[in-house]
Amino acid sequence: MSQKEKYQSIIRRFYNGTASDKDMQLIQKMMDDAEFLAAWEEVWSISVPAKPSANTADQEKLFDKVMHDERVIADRTIHAVRHSNRYRRLWRYAGAVAMFLLTIAIAFWVYHDPKKEALLVAEQQNEVEEVLPGKERAMIVLNNGKSIDLEALPGDTTLQMEGFCIHKSRDGIISYQADKDYQTAGRLVYNRIVTPKGGEYALLLPDGTKVWLNAVTTLRYPVVFDDKERVVQMEGEAYFEVSKAERHGKRIPFIVETGKQRLEVLGTVFNLNTYTNDLVTTLVEGKVKLSFSGTDAADKILEANDQVRFDREKERYTYAKVDPLYFTSWKNGNFAFSNTDVHQVMEDIARWYDIEVIYKLSSQHIRFSGRISRYENIDKMLELIAMTGEVRFKREGRRVYVLDE
C-alpha cells in the first residue's frame, strides 16, 4: 500500500467516525503536509461527510467562533489549528481542507465544553434520522464458535490462539500466522469472516491471497492451507487477488466453492458475486476454470474480461465479455452502473446503507448508468440518481420509497 493510499484509508476512517487515537494524532501532525492534504482533497472529491450539516455561511461563522475560543487557542495539542488566517484562505479556495479543520475544531470545542455538546445533541435530535454509508465492520467466527468483533479490535493488535495468531494491522487488514508445529500438523481448522449490512473488510489469507469482502458476505477458510489444494467457501461478494503457491515444483491450486460452482485459479484476480439467484464470476486478469458439480453444465475456462452468470435454479450459465470496472468498483469505494436495472441499483445501495427500499413504480424497465462514491451522503446520492428524470425518491428514516417522476 502506497503512502497516499495509507493517508486515504485514515481519512476515510475519519469520515466514517472510526478513526483511532493514533489516526487523530497523525491527522493533527499532517495538517501542513502537502501530500496529505492532496490525499484529503481527492477523498473529498468523492466523499461528502454527513456532518456538520450547516450551510457554508453557517460553517464559516462556526469556524470563526471555534477558532477564537480561548480553550482551543490555549490547547497546545492542536496548535496547528491556530493558523486561522491561513486556513480561512483554504476554506474559501479548498473546501476539503476547510471542512477537515472545521470538523477537527468542533471535536475539540465540544470536548472542552459539555454544555456545547448538549446543545449540539439537542439540535441533531430535531433533524431527519441520518443514514450513514457503510464502513469497515466484520466478525471472525473461530472454530470453537467464539467470535471476534474486528471493528472493536484496535489496530496493530495480535491475538494469540492455539497454534496460530490473528493480527490486525494499523490499516485494519487481518492476517494469520501459524506456529511451525501447527503448520506441519496436517489438520485443517476453519475460521469464518462475516460482514453485516453496511460492512466491508480486507483479509490476508495464510497463503498471502488478499480478499476484499463486500457487505453481507461470509468467507470460510482454514488457518493453514492443505499442501495439495487451497479451498475456501464464500457467499456474498468478494474480490480476490490470489497468490501463487507451489510445493516440490508443483502448483497448489486455489479453489473457491460457492454452492454448486467450483472455481479453480492460479495467480489471478477476480470478483465473485452470489447475492442473487445468478452467481456472477468476473475475471480481471489471469485464467480460471469453472466447474458445476451435480449439473449438466460444461466446464468453462475464463480469461481476462470474461464473465459467467450461473443460474442456480436452471443450472445453466451465460457467458459475456465485460468491462470489469463495473463489477469491481465497490472494492475501490465506488458504485458503478452501466445500463443497470433500478432494482439492482437500489439493492446495492440498500445493502451498503442498511436501508429498506419500497417500490411504487408504474414502469419496471428503468435503467441507470453512472459512478457514485459509496461514501456519499445518501440524500445527495438519491438526488444524483433522480437527475436522470426517470424516478424520484422519498426518504423516511431508513425507509426509501422509489416513485414515478
Amino acid identity for residue 216 in this structure: V
The long-range contacts involving 7-14, CB below 8 angstroms and separated by at least 24 positions, are 7/35, 7/36, 7/39, 7/40, 8/39, 8/42, 8/43, 9/171, 9/172, 11/39, 11/40, 11/43, 12/43, 12/47, 12/333, 12/375, 13/135, 13/136, 13/172, 14/103
Predicted confidence at residue 363, as pLDDT, reads 82
236-258 pLDDT, tens per residue?
Answer: 999 999 998 888 888 899 999 99
Q: Does domain 135-326 bear CATH number 2.40.50.140?
A: no
Note whether 346 and 322 are within 8 A (CB).
Answer: no
Cell numbers at residue 118, please?
448538549
Give me the residue spans of the domains in the chain. Answer: 3-125, 135-326, 333-404
What is the identity of the amino acid at 107? A
pTM over cut 0.85: no
Q: For the domain bounded by 333-404, which CATH number is listed?
A: 3.55.50.30
Give kind and range of the element (H or E) at residue 269.
strand 269-273
H helices within 47-83, ranges in order? 56-67, 70-74
Cα separation, 365 vs 311, in Å, equals 21
Q: Identify whether the C-beta of residue 291 lies closer than 8 Å to the C-beta of residue 283.
A: no
| Per-residue pLDDT at 375 | 92
pLDDT at 78: 34
Residues of the chain with pLDDT under 50: 48-94, 96, 102, 106, 108-112, 126
Nearest CA to 172 out of 136, 139, 206 is that of 136
**What count of other Cβ atoms lies within 10 Å of the Cβ of residue 387?**
9
Q: What is the pLDDT of residue 39?
A: 78
Measured between alpha carbons, how far is 257 from 238 in angstroms, rounded to an integer? Answer: 12
What pLDDT, on a 0 to 100 scale, did the predictor assign at position 66?
Answer: 36
Residues in the chain: 405
Q: CB neighbours of 56 closer than 8 A, spacing ≥ 6?
A: none
Q: How far apart are CA 162 and CA 377, in angstroms?
A: 43
- Containing H/E element for 256? strand 254-258
What does the pLDDT read at residue 118? 56
